[in-house]
A and B are shown apart, each in its own frame.
Chain A
Amino acid sequence: GENVEQHPSTLSVQEGDSAVIKCTYSDSASNYFPWYKQELGKRPQLIIDIRSNVGEKKDQRIAVTLNKTAKHFSLHITETQPEDSAVYFCAASTGDTNAGKSTFGDGTTLTVKP
């Protein structure tokens, strides 16, 4: 089955700096890669996703890049703000209806210091 590894497990940055979180996956058939943000005590919520026919996607201060050859994808947050502090999860899915599931990384706790 799919194996998703996420690094680093914790990340601390100064407000205004950039943050990068990386994930690798094992199943070359995976074609959907979402990122979820989970604030303390809250539910995970999708912040951005990318599909395998796209190499990069951007939404304001958040971007995701995908390298299918190397089987890794990354989340980039620029101009970080204290409200970006949360746990971020990556996931990978093959889009196979028979499997019907995404595999999640173990999460990265991001702390943005004012």
Chain B
Amino acid sequence: IAGITQAPTSQILAAGRRMTLRCTQDMRHNAMYWYRQDLGLGLRLIHYSNTAGTTGKGEVPDGYSVSRANTDDFPLTLASAVPSQTSVYFCASSDDGSGADTQYFGPGTRLTVL
């Protein structure tokens, strides 16, 4: 069992380019989340999905979009990347969508926007 995986591991991107970060889980968890982690600012929620077919905005959603076509996959898209989106991005999943459950994190994607 792989758990939760992310791709790519790291990416350097020119400003203005479109980029999709991939996240896949094989635990059949209902809920999935995307966070960005910047130095000294902890984990900030970008978007979340309580169950397949539904998504919601987190704390810092601007400039990002997500989709949840099935249970396993939760891609995060930057439509037109800007330098302020340079960060480490973590995908996570949990068994239920209440938020009151353990979150399992992926290994992260380090994104640099130049």
Residues of A within 8 A of B (CB): 1, 6, 9, 31-32, 34, 36, 42-46, 49, 51, 89, 93-97, 99-107
A95–B98 touching, CB < 8 Å: yes
A96–B99 touching, CB < 8 Å: yes
Q: How many residues of B contact A (CB 8 A)?
A: 27
**Does chain A have a CB within 8 A of B50?**
yes
Contact count A vs B, C-beta below 8 Å: 71
A97–B97 touching, CB < 8 Å: yes
Among listed B11-19, B20-28, B75-83, B102-110, interface-contacting one: B102-110
Q: Which residues of A contact B96 (CB under 8 A)?
A: 97
List, sorted by A's number, 6 A–B pairs whose CB atoms are closer than 8 Å: A34-B103, A49-B102, A93-B100, A95-B99, A100-B48, A106-B41
With A101-B48, A104-B42 in contact, is A32–B58 under 8 Å at CB?
no
Write out, one digit per residue, whether chain B residues 37-75 have a CB within 8 A of any chain A CB (1) or not (0): 000111111001010000010110000000000000000
A101–B45 touching, CB < 8 Å: yes
Tell me the residues in window 27-41 of chain B with beta carbons closer than 8 Å to chain A beta carbons: 31, 33, 35, 40-41
A100–B102 touching, CB < 8 Å: no
B54, closest chain A residue (CB): A100
Top 5 nearest A-B pairs by Cβ distance? Answer: A95-B100, A32-B100, A93-B99, A106-B42, A43-B105
What's the Cα separation between A53 and B97 when bound, in Å? 20
Q: Which residues of A contact B99 (CB under 8 A)?
A: 32, 93-96, 99-102
B99, closest chain A residue (CB): A93
Q: Which residues of A contact B101 (CB under 8 A)?
A: 32
